[in-house]
Structure 1
Amino acid sequence: MEVYSEKQQITVALEAVKAKNLSVGFVPTMGALHQGHLELVRKALLENDQVVVSIFVNPTQFDNKEDLEKYPRTLETDVNLLKEVHPNRIMVYAPSVTDVYEDELKSQHFDFDGLEHEMEGKFRSGHFDGVGTIVKRLFEIVKPDNAYFGEKDFQQLAIIKKMVEKHDIPVNIVPCIIYREMNGLAMSSRNARLKPEYKEAAPFIYKTLTAAKAKFGTESAVEVMEWVEKQFYTHDLLKLEYFIIADEDTLKTVTKKIEFKKYRAFIAVYADDIRLIDNIALN
């Protein structure tokens, strides 16, 4: 398995792949790989001749410097996990900050038609400009046919789709289902940082989401949102940052259900100092 640290190296390698008319799938990650990431890679392998996995902790999408510093960096372990998935058909691009950003470590400003102002955008200043900047640069370097993103970061997925559409980037975005632990907790690199008591408490998030989905069938969106807030109000360990029910297309909070519209519940919770997000389709 080849691991490239410079964009010039991987560009040359990918030009050789494309010269053979082979398709390229791309899975962008920040490393600390878990089974959720590996399932994205497996799907990409099924649908493409060659797969590129980027491993890069992107500084411009962190609004909290401490969170950036604490983010796990486990390149050797990540590469070994990818070798187990497939030793030959995966390339790893693990660049330095300088290789990606050169002399200008700042985000490009994007207009995502308002998607960036909902949910995460209200709590994480500049986050989606950082996401848009790094994903656009990676697309320019890798030039994939297909790119794979998990639905756990549903808002991010919607924003990347919007960026591809508005900037006319020739890549097919493939959404992938949320992969969960046996107890329902959405898989995340952050889960490894949970203290034992918080790890034990965290499945309450998905349990509450599934209960909210059941309630949404008979109760109004406002009633369901109020119910969820009450569940966390009395919880000893988990602190609710937000729970909303939103229109899947606009991500705007719903107050009244409209027939034939698709709705999704979104949640962000603090388990000690670890921020966990999740979501669930409601209809």
Structure 2
Amino acid sequence: MRIAHTPAEIRRQLKSLRASKTIAFVPTMGCLHAGHMSLIRKAKQLADIVVVSIYVNPLQFGPNEDLDNYPRTFDADAKLCADAGVDFLFNPATLYPASGPKITLKATQLSEHLCGKARPGHFDGVVTVVNILFNIVQPDIALFGEKDWQQLAIIRRMVSDLQMAVEVLGVETVREPDGLAMSSRNRYLSETDRNRAVALSKALRAMQQLATAGESDIGVLKDRANAILAAADISAEYLDVRNPNSLKNKNRLNSRPARAFIAARVGSARLIDNIPLHQTEESQ
């Protein structure tokens, strides 16, 4: 595995490969876990060359968020990547000028729902850095986890709107044995909070079970989910059923597709998760 620390270096390393090899790209902020490894495994199945980036992007953190404390575990991450057969690891110190970027991208509409309400500017930072990374790596395929579904939907729209020559693929959320969605922020959880946090996935599964059984009243689904959260002393920041493509609210499950989304603070960690409401549905 080759490690690059500057855009010029990774461009130089990849230049001679583009004509004859397909390149798959997995952008990350590091602190890699089994969810990231699933993206890498999928990338290796789909392309000749796999590039992983590790960059904690300051533009997507708000002033009161965890940028300074976000876990940085490069040595362990690099070993995981090497063991997984990653070909190139891109770990830049920064992607922005010392004076800060003067030109950035802005996400609209899709960014105004769900996490966008609580994290203003977050998705502007996401699309800006992903655009920069796509420009540097120039991948044929880019893979993102479905746990961050809103991010996935926004990046797909960015690629479509800006006519980017990259295929964006979502990969199913990897979960702990008890159902908790894997996340780098899970390490913030105390043992007690970790036990409480599983209520998020249990609430979503309960909604899915009701929908699969034929319940179309979203209020009934949300009441069942909120009861599970209340039993764990968790109050949802949001608990919504949305169209997975437009992210618009659905009032009844009278048409497919539909996806349930949740965000909640458990202890010091803000956790998110989502699930399709009909198990037979493919990812949209």
Instruction: Tell me the amino acid that sits aligned with residue 88 of structure 2.
Output: M
| Corresponding residue of 2:190 | 195
Write the distance in 1 (CA, Å) between the matches of 2:156 and 2:65: 29
Q: Deviations over 1:63-115 (max 9, x none)?
A: 144411111000011001111111xx521000012xx1123534724244x11
SS of match in other structure, 1:18: coil
Write the distance in 2 (CA, Å) between the matches of 1:96 and 1:186: 29
| Corresponding residue of 1:232 | 229
| Corresponding residue of 2:67 | 68
Q: Deviations over 1:38-87 (max 9, x none)?
A: 1100110111111110000000001144411111000011001111111x
In the alignment, structure 1 segments of 5+ residues that lack a partner are none
Displacement after TM superposition at 1:234 (Å): 4.5
Q: RMSD of the alignment, in Å? A: 1.5
Q: Deviations over 1:193-214 (max 9, x none)?
A: 2111111221121111111112
Q: Give the 5 Å matches for 1:35-54.
A: 35-54=34-53
Q: Give the 5 Å matches for 1:119-198.
A: 119-198=114-193
Write the distance in 2 (CA, Å) between the matches of 1:111 and 1:31: 24
SS of match in other structure, 1:266: strand
Q: TM-score, normalised by structure 1?
A: 0.93
Q: Deviations over 1:112-133 (max 9, x none)?
A: 4x11111111111101100000
Contact 2:200 2:229 in 1 (8 A): no
| Corresponding residue of 1:92 | 89
Write the distance in 2 (CA, Å) between the matches of 1:65 and 1:54: 25
Instruction: Tell me the amino acid that sits aligned with residue 262 of structure 2.
Output: I
Q: TM-score, normalised by structure 2?
A: 0.92
Matched, 1:204 2:199: yes
Write the distance in 2 (CA, Å) between the matches of 1:109 and 1:9: 25
Which of 235, 244, 247 pairs up with 1:248?
Answer: 244
| Corresponding residue of 2:282 | none
Q: Which moved more, 1:56-65 or 1:74-83?
A: 56-65
Write the distance in 2 (CA, Å) between the matches of 1:190 and 1:37: 13
Matched, 1:110 2:106: yes
Change (3 A) 1:209 1:79: same
In the alignment, structure 2 segments of 5+ residues that lack a partner are 279-284
Write the distance in 1 (CA, Å) between the matches of 2:266 and 2:11: 41
Which of 210, 213, 221 pairs up with 2:218?
Answer: 221
Contact 1:60 1:105 in 2 (8 A): no
Displacement after TM superposition at 1:219 (Å): 4.2
Query: What fraction of aligned residue pairs are identical, expressed as a percent?
Result: 39
Write the distance in 2 (CA, Å) between the matches of 1:254 and 1:170: 32
Instruction: Tell me the amino acid that sits aligned with residue 119 of structure 2.
Output: R
- How many residues end up aligned between the 2 structures? 275
Write the distance in 2 (CA, Å) between the matches of 1:268 and 1:111: 20
| Corresponding residue of 1:56 | 55
Q: Deviations over 1:174-205 (max 9, x none)?
A: 11011111111101111122111111221121
SS of match in other structure, 1:125: coil
